[in-house]
Amino acid sequence: MQQTVTYRNNGAIGALLDEYERSIKELKSVIQNITTNDLIYIVDPDTEDEDCKSIQTVLSHVVRSGYSYVIAIRKWLGEEIAYKNRELLNSISEYNTALDMMFAYNEKLFEDYPEIKLEEYNTNNKINVRWGQQYDVEQLLEHAIVHVLRHRRQIERFIIKLKH
């Protein structure tokens, strides 16, 4: 039996949030049977990227990044707000909660700024992110969605390696 999907009714913002939520649900589905040992196992000992060594480090990166995109937008809107520190969690249950809280933080942005301008064509008014690129709100949220998808794929590949 197919599950009924409920969509938000607030146009482009709703579409972005629906797709972001879907990407997180897909990620949570992929990680649901990960054991604590598999969570912390260093699957890629050769990478120099500290965020990509284990399922644990990848998930921590996804959660932290999900906050960072919204924090960048809030800073662009004039808020004084600090970025989150890296935090390694110890179980899939904790990561599920952290992913839910991160997504709720994204939703809160649009509750706080329901009339936020999604598109910005003037490069002087775009959001300058920490890694040196420029985005408008819509582009940054689209990046956030694809970020989850890319790391979901990475975790799927890690799971294959763990089975062999």
If we measure between CA atoms, which residue out of 75, 91, 72 comes closest to residue 144?
72
- In the chain, the domains with their CATH numbers are 11-163 (1.20.120.450)
Position 1 scores a pLDDT of 61
Position 4 scores a pLDDT of 79
Position 5 scores a pLDDT of 80
Position 8 scores a pLDDT of 86
Position 3 scores a pLDDT of 73
Residues of the chain with pLDDT under 70: 1
Model confidence pLDDT, tens digit, residues 95-105: 999 999 999 99
pTM (2 d.p.): 0.94
> What is the DSSP track for the chain?
-PPPP----SHHHHHHHHHHHHHHHHHHHHHTT--HHHHHSBS-TT-S-GGGSBHHHHHHHHHHHHHHHHHHHHHHTT---PPPPP---SSHHHHHHHHHHHHHHHHHHHHH-TT-------GGGSEE-TTS-EE-HHHHHHHHHHHHHHHHHHHHHHHHHHH-
Model confidence pLDDT, tens digit, residues 48-78: 999 999 999 999 999 999 999 999 999 999 9
Contacts of 37 (CB under 8 A, 6+ apart): none
